[in-house]
Amino acid sequence: QGLRGDLNPPLLTPLRHTGQNLPQRIMQRLQQICGHLKPLDNGSLKKEQAAGQRLPMALREIRHKLHLPLYKMKMMQQGLMGEMEKGLNGEESTVLMLPSYVTRKSVEGKTGEYYALDLGGTNFRVLKLVLKDSQVVDTKAAKYRIPLKHVVGGDADGLFGFIAKSVAKFIKGSSTSSAPLGFTFSFPMKKNSLNSGILVRWTKSFTTAGVVGKDVCALLAEQFKKEGVNMGVTAVLNDTVGTLVTEYFKDDRALLGVIIGTGFNVAYWEKVGNIPKYMRANKEADPDATMCINMECGNFDSPTMRVLKNVYNKYDIEVDAASPNKGLGLTEKLVSGLYMGEIARLALRDLKKAGIIRGLHGKLEEKKGFPAWHLSGCVEEDDSRLSKIEKILKKEYGVESTLFEREAIRKVCEWVVLRSARVAATIIGTVVLKAGFEWDCTVAIDGSVFEKTPNYPKLMYEAFNDLFGDQPYNIRLVLTKDGSGVGAGLSAALMS
């Protein structure tokens, strides 16, 4: 219903053929969702095309490559909806839809001391939280930079041994060294219980050997024992789950936890009865309970590219080919800060070849020669001469620039950011529709891209307006700081 005639019908097949008949209530919900999948407004498209005609040809080509029109967003919505259903049912899917075993409960009366570990990148943190009546009244934290040898080419003993030593140092002299512990492990995990997590695959450039396929809690416990740390993991989770729980302690309408930073992922509350694979494995489970699902949606449509083949361009293909996880995380590579700078660099390199801009002293030809924070600086509010961009180019690259060059660079950076925001909004909007709470929900978001990229939340709201059209919705995007750290401690409190 309401689909463009040129959309590929097989995109609907995951919803029809899941190996069993979908319950009537799901079919009714899908009919409601189809109301959101409207054809592209040709008038809007003509306006976009007219605006593009005023640009030089090289810029027009880049703009076309980076533009994400509404009909492509709708295609992504349909594809993701089908993958979610398959993932929840336990079928092969590009989104894992992993049960976190963290369930929605009352947060009233939580009082005591809780510890948290946060491993989501090359910086590792240890935190101690003091709660009184479910409010965090005191926090102590320490950050440790993981040596590169443990991240790339190292082994499990080295990585988890470093973590255990850091924890031992942090709790030395503490009177409550055996309090409940939450462990944020921000990588794809398969979970069979609340306090076990088997690493499915590394992301974020980690290649540490001997961890994939192993229980990370058991690996940590082994190193804790060696270091004399009398502590066990109460709950292991990823950063999206932690972000959702953090906001849930403040707002019971919190529905999604999202990370938009170095990586991109979503977690959300789902009825246990809507998770067939969990119900089959846990016969006594309450179908009316609510559990947090870790989607691992950064891997959506990877490596199949049934939908993303219509979104990816030559820059995305080059970025993917140069990444350590080629063919995987293809949606994440459209959104996250780890890749936005590279996409902009490759587009700017084409502008140089076309004679639109001069070079940046060879940096456009070097991998990571145009980092994401430079891109972010180029889209900040600026004066009519774009003095901030002029300062970045002179200070960081040692080049003088004309106003025309600065305008061209700004345009490219804006388009990269805009596409990232529209992809993120499409994924989030689809999950909200699936959960059935588009009329009133809070989306908790952590991550440097959402927090520090100018106008990023505004661009996401504009994308929601496009997606929902005249359908009523009330989605609140809330910056939830330190969900990965504090969220681990709060998850331990929630589940202990």
Taking 50 as the threshold, does the pLDDT of residue 10 lie above it?
no
Q: Among the ranges 52-56, 177-181, 221-225, 483-487, which has the highest mean pLDDT value?
A: 221-225
Taking 50 as the threshold, does the pLDDT of residue 8 lie above it?
no
81-88 average pLDDT score: 98
pLDDT tier, 120 (very low <50, low <70, confident <90, very high otherwise): confident
Q: Do residues 275 and 308 touch, judged by C-beta distance below 8 A? A: no
pLDDT of res. 14 = 35
Of 118, 215, 239, 466, which is the active-site residue? 239
215-236 average pLDDT score: 94
Report angle CA 52, 53, 57 to the nearest 5 degrees.
90
pLDDT tier, 248 (very low <50, low <70, confident <90, very high otherwise): very high
23-50 average pLDDT score: 51
pLDDT digits (tens, 9 = 90+) for 271-325: 999 999 999 999 999 999 999 999 999 999 999 999 999 999 999 999 999 998 8
pLDDT of res. 1 = 27
> Which alpha helices (H) appear in 54-153, and where do they start and end?
57-66, 70-89, 148-151
Taking 60 as the threshold, does the pLDDT of residue 52 lie above it?
no
Question: Which tokens is 271 given?
Answer: 């009825």
Residue 294: closest CA among 209, 203, 221, 211: 203
Instruction: Supply the pTM of this predicted model.
Output: 0.85
pLDDT of res. 181 = 94
pLDDT tier, 16 (very low <50, low <70, confident <90, very high otherwise): very low
Taking 90 as the threshold, does the pLDDT of residue 172 lie above it?
no
* Alpha carbon distances (Å) from 369 to 300, 336, 363: 28, 17, 5
Taking 50 as the threshold, does the pLDDT of residue 339 lie above it?
yes
CB neighbours of residue 40 within 10 Å = 15
Question: Which tokens is 175 given?
Answer: 């009177």
pLDDT of res. 214 = 96
Mean pLDDT of all residues in the chain? 88
Taking 50 as the threshold, does the pLDDT of residue 2 lie above it?
no
* Residue 234, phi then psi, degrees to nearest 5: -80, -45
How far apart are alpha carbons 301 and 308 in whole angstroms?
Answer: 7
Q: Do residues 166 and 144 touch, judged by C-beta distance below 8 A? A: yes
pLDDT digits (tens, 9 = 90+) for 127-156: 999 999 989 999 999 999 999 999 998 999
User: Is pLDDT larger for residue 183 or for residue 22?
Assistant: 183
Q: Do residues 66 and 52 touch, judged by C-beta distance below 8 A? A: no
324-344 average pLDDT score: 95
pLDDT tier, 493 (very low <50, low <70, confident <90, very high otherwise): very high
CB neighbours of residue 336 within 10 Å = 25
pLDDT of res. 7 = 33
- The pairing of beta strand 123-132 with beta strand 135-145: antiparallel
373-394 average pLDDT score: 94
pLDDT of res. 35 = 59
Of 166, 186, 302, 420, which is the active-site residue? 186
How far apart are alpha carbons 117 and 242 in whole angstroms?
Answer: 11
How far apart are alpha carbons 311 and 317 in whole angstroms?
Answer: 11
pLDDT of res. 27 = 55
Question: Which tokens is 215 given?
Answer: 């229980």
Taking 60 as the threshold, does the pLDDT of residue 440 lie above it?
yes
Q: Is 139 helix (H, G, I), strand (E, B) or coil?
A: strand
Question: Which tokens is 114 given?
Answer: 């809780």
| Residue 239 bears catalytic tag | yes
pLDDT of res. 82 = 97
Of 201, 306, 358, 476, which is the active-site residue? 201
- The pairing of beta strand 98-103 with beta strand 441-446: unpaired
Least confident range of 56-65, 259-268, 284-293, 479-488: 479-488
How far apart are alpha carbons 100 and 472 in whole angstroms?
Answer: 31
How far apart are alpha carbons 36 and 490 in whole angstroms?
Answer: 36
- Helical (H) or strand (E) element with 333: helix 332-335
Residue 119 one-letter amino acid: L
427-443 average pLDDT score: 94
Residue 355: exposure state from Cβ atoms within 10 A (0-12, 13-18, ≥19): exposed
| Residue 186 bears catalytic tag | yes
